[in-house]
Chain A
Amino acid sequence: MTTKIVIGLDGTETGDRAVGFAKDLASRIGSCELLVAYVIEWSPYTFQTPEENALRHKRREEEIALATSRVVEPAVEALKAAGFSARGIVRHGDVAETLNAITVENGGSQIVVGRSSADGIKKRIFGSSTQNLVMHADVPVTVVN
C-alpha cells in the first residue's frame, strides 16, 4: 500500500526544508506519495465591505492561482523531477485545521511542516499554526527546524 505524506508549505524557506525532509523520508519508505499542501489563511467569520464581498469569488480564484503557480507547482515539479510521486493541493481556511482535514481526507499517514514564523502577539495568544497542528492533528506531525 502506498504511504501518503502531507507536506505543509507556507511559501518560506522552512517549507523547502520540510520538502527536503519529506523526500528523505519517502525514499526510505519506498512506495510513497507526497501531497504538497498550501493553506491560504482565511476565516468565514471576518467582517468585510459589500464591495469586497462582491469581488470575493474573483479574489479567491486569483489567490488559488497565485499559490499554485508560485509555491505548490514548483515544489511538485521538483519532486517529480527527482523521481517522486507528488501532487499539490491549495485550500482556504485555518492552517492547522485545514492541513489536518486534507490529511484525513486523503488517507495521509503523517504531516511534515516547517517551523512557522507567526508574529508576536498573535502567536502568544493563539499559538502558531504549527503549535495548533501539533496539538490537534489526528496523525503524527514532524516539525522541521
Chain B
Amino acid sequence: MKSIKTLGLSGAAAALLANPAFAQEAPGLDEKINQTFANLTGPFVSFIFAPFPGTSFPWIVMWLVVAATVFTLYFAFVQMRFFSHAISLVKGDYSDPNDAGEVSHFQALATALSGTVGLGNIAGVAVAVGIGGPGATFWMILAGLLGMASKFTECTLGVKYRNEYEDGTVSGGPMYYMSKGFAELGLPGGKILAVLFSIFCILGALGGGNMFQANQAHQQIAGIVGDYPGWITGLVFAAVVFMVIVGGLKSIARVTEKVVPFMGVLYVATALVIIIMNADMIGWAFGQIFAGAFTGLGVAGGMVGALIQGFKRAAFSNEAGVGSAAIAHSAVRTKEPITEGFVSLLEPFIDTVVICTMTALVIIITQQLVIDPATGLYVLNEAGTAIATVDGNSGVSLTSAAFGSAFSWFPYILAIAVILFAFSTMISWSYYGLKAWTYLFGEGHTKELVFKIIFCVFVVIGAAANLGPVIDFSDAAIFAMAVVNVFALYFLMKVVRQELASYSARLKSGEIRKFAD
C-alpha cells in the first residue's frame, strides 16, 4: 500500500522557486526542515530497514516472512486446510439468521481489503518485477500464501480480545490482545507492548496511511491535468476526509466503499482480458516466472534479487503481521473469534496471490521488459539497477503502459482507481490511528476530534510537500508495528491453537454446522 517514493519538488516549493527573490532561501529552508527531521528520525529508519550484513535483504522483511512461515507450520497449513471453509463463512453459510443486521464476515473482509488493496498492488508490483524480473512474482505469491497464516493468527486474536462496550460499540486490535492476552496468560509487559504498538500505529496512520497516499493521489492528478501546487489537492482531500471522519458524512464514504471494490474487480477483469488476448503467451510467461525465480534470468542480484523484491512487495502490500487488519476485522459479529481468522486469511490471497499476480502477468505478457534476443536474458538499464523497459517506465507508469498497450483508455481508469484507492486507504487508516489514539488517551468526543483534525492537517502536508524523510519515517513506523505485533503473536499463538483445536473438533462432530437455507 505504500513505499513507492516520489522525488521532485513539492508544489509549494516549486512555486517559491519560480520567484527569483525566494530562489536562494526557499530550498534552503525546505532542505533545513527535511534535514532536521531526517537527522532526528534517521537512526530509527535505518534500523528498521537495515539489511543483513553483506546483503541488501532488509531484516524486517525476513522478520515478516519467518513469522508467516512459523505460523504456517504451527497451525499445520491452516490456509490450505480451511480455505474452502473460509469461503463458506464469507458466503454466510454458517451465519445465524437471527444475527442479520450485524456486521457480516463478508463486510469485515471487504472493509479490511479496502485498506490494503491500493498502490502496492499497482505500483509496488511494477517495482518488484522491474527490478527483480518475472521471478519476483513467484516469491511474491509464496510470501502471500505464507502471509495468510499471519493474518489468521492476528485477526483471531483481534476478535477474541476486543472490547465490547455497554452501548454496543466495539474496539479491537493488537493493543487489546497484547494487554488482555498477556494478562490472561500471566505474562508481563503486555501493556508496554500495547502502548508501543499504539504509538507506531498513530505514526504509521499519519504517514503511510495518510501523507503518502495524499502525495501519490496528487501525483496522479497532476499527471493528468498538468502540474499545479500540491496543497490544492491536499485541501480538497482534507476537506473530503474531514467531512467523512469529523462531519460524519457517510454518503461520501459509502460511495467510495462501493466504487473501490468495483474498481478492483474492473482492474482484475481487464488484466484477465489482456491475459486471454495473449493466451499463447501464458505458458511462456509462467516459464519466465519459474525460470526467473531460481536463476534470475540476468536481473540485478540474480535469484536473490528476485526473491528480495518478491518478498518485500508481498509484505508491503498485504500487511500480514503488521496488525492493522486485526483492528479492521474485530467488528464482526460472531460467537467464534476463530471464524474471523479463517475469513481474514483470504485477504492476502486476494490482495497478493490474485491482484498482485495479475499486475505482474500483464507486465510480463505485454513484454514491457526488454529481453536480449540472443541470450534470452533481461537487459539492464544504464544504471544497472533495474531491467530496461520498452518506454523507460517504472513504478505505476510501467503498469499503466502495460495496460495501455492493450487498451489505450485504461491509463485514465487506472489514474482514477489510484486516487480512489488512496482515499479509501486514508479512511481506513484514519480509523486504525484513531483506535490507537483512544487506546492511549481514552475514548471521548474531544480527544477523538483532536486526532481527526491532526489527521486532516497531515493530508494537506502530505499532498503539498515532498517530505522524503517523513515518508521514510512513516513507512518505518508501519513496519515497527510489525516488530511489536509479531513479537506478541509468538506468545499468544498458543491461544489461537486452542481455539483452532476446539473449533475443528466441533466442526467435525457436526456441532457447528451450516444453517439451512
Chain A residues with CB under 8 Å of chain B are 40, 42, 44-58, 60-61, 63-64, 91-93, 98, 101
Contacts and interface: CB of A to CB of B under 8 A. Distances in A.
Q: Report the 7 A-B pairs with minimum CB-CB distance, sorted nearest first.
A: A92-B101, A44-B104, A58-B168, A53-B331, A47-B257, A50-B431, A92-B100
A49 B104 CA distance: 13
Interface stretch (B44-52, B107-115, B480-488, B501-509): B107-115
Given A44-B92, A50-B428, 11 more contacts: A42-B100, A47-B254, A47-B258, A47-B261, A53-B328, A54-B431, A56-B331, A56-B333, A57-B103, A57-B333, A92-B100
A63 B100 CA distance: 12
A82 B256 CA distance: 49
Most buried by A among B103, B106, B258: B103
The majority secondary structure among interface residues of chain A is helix
Contacts of B258: 47
Nearest to A40: B101
Nearest to A49: B253
Nearest to A93: B100
A44 B95 contact: yes
28 contacts: A44-B92, A44-B100, A44-B104, A44-B105, A45-B106, A46-B107, A47-B114, A47-B257, A47-B261, A48-B257, A49-B253, A49-B254, A50-B432, A53-B111, A53-B332, A54-B331, A56-B102, A56-B331, A56-B333, A57-B103, A57-B170, A58-B167, A60-B101, A60-B102, A63-B101, A92-B100, A98-B100, A101-B97
Nearest to A43: B104
Contacts of B333: 56-57
Interface in B254-300: 254, 257-258, 260-261
A56 to B, nearest CB: 5
Nearest to B333: A57
Interface string B80-107: 0000000000001001010011111111
B32 interface: no
Contacts of A57: 102-103, 168-170, 333
A55 B114 CA distance: 18
B303 interface: no
B237 to A, nearest CB: 16
Contacts of B244: 49
B331 A50 contact: yes
A93 B101 CA distance: 7
Nearest to A56: B103
Contact of A48 (B100, B107, B167, B245): B107
Contacts of A54: 169-171, 331, 431
Contacts of A53: 103, 107-108, 111, 328, 331-332
Contacts of A58: 167-169
Interface of B: 92, 95, 97, 100-108, 110-111, 114-115, 167-171, 244-245, 250, 253-254, 257-258, 260-261, 327-328, 331-333, 427-428, 431-432
A53 B258 CA distance: 15
A49 B432 CA distance: 11
A61 B167 CA distance: 10
Nearest to B250: A52
A51 B111 CA distance: 10
Which residue, of A42, A44, A54, has the highest number of chain B Cβ atoms within 10 A?
A54
Contact of A93 (B97, B105, B108, B169): B97
Contacts of A98: 100
A45 B244 CA distance: 22
A63 B102 CA distance: 11
Nearest to B98: A91
Contacts of A46: 107
Nearest to A94: B100
A50 B169 CA distance: 12
B8 to A, nearest CB: 32
B87 to A, nearest CB: 14
A47 B111 contact: yes
A47 B117 CA distance: 14
A5 to B, nearest CB: 22
A52 B107 CA distance: 10
Nearest to A61: B168
Contacts of B250: 49, 52
Contacts of B115: 50
Contacts of B114: 47
A61 B164 CA distance: 14
A51 B115 CA distance: 13
Contacts of A45: 104, 106-107
B393 to A, nearest CB: 32
A123 B260 CA distance: 25
Nearest to A45: B106
Contacts of B171: 54
Contact of A49 (B101, B168, B327, B427): B427
Contacts of B168: 55, 57-58, 60-61
B101 A50 contact: no
